[in-house]
Amino acid sequence: MLKPEDNKLLTRVGPGAAMGELLRRFWIPALMEEEVRENDGAPVRLRLLGQDLVAFRDTEGKLGILDAYCPHRRAHLYFGRNEECGLRCVYHGWKFDVTGQCVDMPSEQPGFKEKARTAAYPTATSGGVVWVYMGPDQLKPELPDFEWARLPKSRCEITKRSQQCNWAQAVEGGIDSSHISFLHRNLEDLTPAAKSATGHKGYTSRDRSPVFTVKDTDYGLLIGASRNATEESFYWRITQFLVPFWTMIPPIMRENTNDSSQNTYSGHAFVPIDDENTWTWSFNCHPHRDFTEKEQALFHPRTGLWGPIDDSYQPVWNKENDYGLDRNMQKNVNFTGIKGIPNQDVAVQESMGPIADRSLEMLGTSDKAIIAYRQLLLDMVKDLQNGQEPKASRHGAYYSVRSASLLLKKDVPFDKGAAWLLSAEDHRKG
């Protein structure tokens, strides 16, 4: 459990909040590039870390992300005209370029426009994503060098969906490997035949109480969950947590294999919209080959694994319709009666309330990674308050890692035995 004051420290992200200041030290996924592809196209509303923003691509193709409200009378710039390399407020015609400088002010006398500007934030594009940096200009870090962001679209799909709860409880779902034996379980996987199988389904069905080992890293946490596979070996699922809000999900190890080296892998970013809402970004990639037709369908950004979502990236199955809960399905098909991994995850995460009260929890040994995550983020916040900037934000190469699943002899430390699987940078060099 956390003390109420620490829970507040962990979850509050708005301007001036201690956690919000930490998150602003990192590059943040802001938009799908497809949302703002057209030069002089319609501006896009955006809310991140409790701030209202507006995004646009100007006549020359430059991206701008500005404070949403015109500094003159605070009219919303979403209603503005995107024209001639600037976004013009429709109230009195003030126009701002992508740097936030006012470049035209027809309603005022000459000389005043040079004094007027609005907040603007650095942007970058990578992996089909528009990124934004919202921290101090002089501390702008390197863009994180994720392997998936370097891959062609034929090998990677990325999407997002909104979620109605605090970002931290979404992150905690992403690093909790024990729940897969329950929340995401099909009932057929609990039959004697399924339990006797090798591979992911067999190992996770036979042993539903993994033992967690958590290692500190330069970028966050390396989380190993071991299950008994044979008398001599453990089945390890290794999750990466990368500060401040990234998780990498262990691939599903196929039957009759010893590791996930040839499998696709996936992950999430849980980006705070505000204290009570989150953008959940998801990616799937295969670093060695193009997706098959079956994988293309599975990872489709709207109808695939992380869907279904509508044109506004809102989930079709949500709190208003109980996530499609079917009690007959729950009795006969799967553990929850809810279709789809993301809908199952979101159902339990949103059920905790907009901000979970962690002072009322009763944690066990399976929550070791959750405890480590909370302590890491709280320590980083307190370090920043004491003038120590986060090291990870300054080194984009730290993010060139993978998650993994594999069998290891019981006497082999998981971080040593899996090292060859976990570094994307080593694979790139090799």
Q: What is the pLDDT of residues 97-120, one digit of tens each?
A: 999 999 999 988 888 989 999 999
Please tell me whether the peptide bond between 244 and the residue prior to it is cis, using omega within 30 degrees of 0: yes
- pLDDT, residue 425, reads 66
Q: Encoding tokens for residue 206?
A: 């036979």
* 429, pLDDT greater than 50: no
C-alpha 8/C-alpha 99 separation (Å) is 34
Q: What is the pLDDT of residues 126-172, one digit of tens each?
A: 999 999 999 999 999 999 999 999 999 999 999 999 999 999 999 99
User: What average pLDDT does the structure give for the chain?
Assistant: 94
Q: What is the pLDDT of residues 270-290, one digit of tens each?
A: 999 999 999 999 999 999 999
* 200, pLDDT greater than 70: yes
Residue 336 near residue 330, CB atoms below 8 Å: yes
* 410, pLDDT greater than 60: yes
Domains along the chain with CATH numbers: 27-139 (2.102.10.10), 147-429 (3.90.380)
Query: Quick one: pLDDT band at residue 178, thresholds 50, 70, 90?
Result: confident
Q: Encoding tokens for residue 96?
A: 């701002």
C-alpha 411/C-alpha 429 separation (Å) is 29
Q: What is the DSSP string of 241-269?
A: EETTTEEEEPP-PPTT-SB-TTS-EEEEE
List Cβ neighbours of 93 (8 Å cut-off, separation of 6 or more). Answer: 104, 105, 106, 107
